[in-house]
Copies of this chain bind each other. A is one copy, B any other.
Amino acid sequence: MASDRVQVLANGLRQSGLRLTHQRLAICRTLVTSNTHPTAVQLHTQLRAEFPTLSLATVYSTLNTLAALGLVYELGNAGDGQKHYDAITAPHANLICTQCHRISDFEDTALKSVSQHVARRSGYQIQGARIAYYGICPACARRRGR
């Protein structure tokens, strides 16, 4: 099922008339496989093993391309000053720990209905949403509690 999502991204690129290079495919794969919402630098570091010559500029450019197509979301604001990316574009919330800066996902049907409500009341043509809750994750709460 993770590979399905890679296909979605790959097809999206091709359908937009863009070339499916090894680099782009690898970036899509890593992004989908990872559950850590990586930054460009993290992706680059991880992919260096497979593509020793891969340029950081290519990673940025690919991420911008994917984000522009709406295939991937640009997060930012995890408190570390870098842009994080999320391969899931279905409506979901991110839980961001203000201690360890880890980002995890949270899905709930309530989020969808609120989104529709907002669209109706605001008059906006909603294209996407970034819902982030900041707080202390259970693990950090324990660590800090004692």
Contact = CB atoms under 8 A, between A and B. Distances in A.
Instruction: State which size class the interface on A falls in.
Output: 35 or more
A115 to B, nearest CB: 7
A125 B136 contact: yes
Interface in A25-64: none
29 contacts: A77-B77, A77-B130, A93-B118, A95-B124, A97-B124, A98-B127, A106-B118, A106-B121, A108-B117, A108-B121, A110-B114, A114-B114, A119-B135, A124-B133, A124-B135, A124-B136, A124-B137, A125-B141, A126-B133, A126-B134, A127-B134, A128-B133, A129-B131, A129-B132, A129-B134, A130-B132, A130-B133, A131-B131, A131-B132
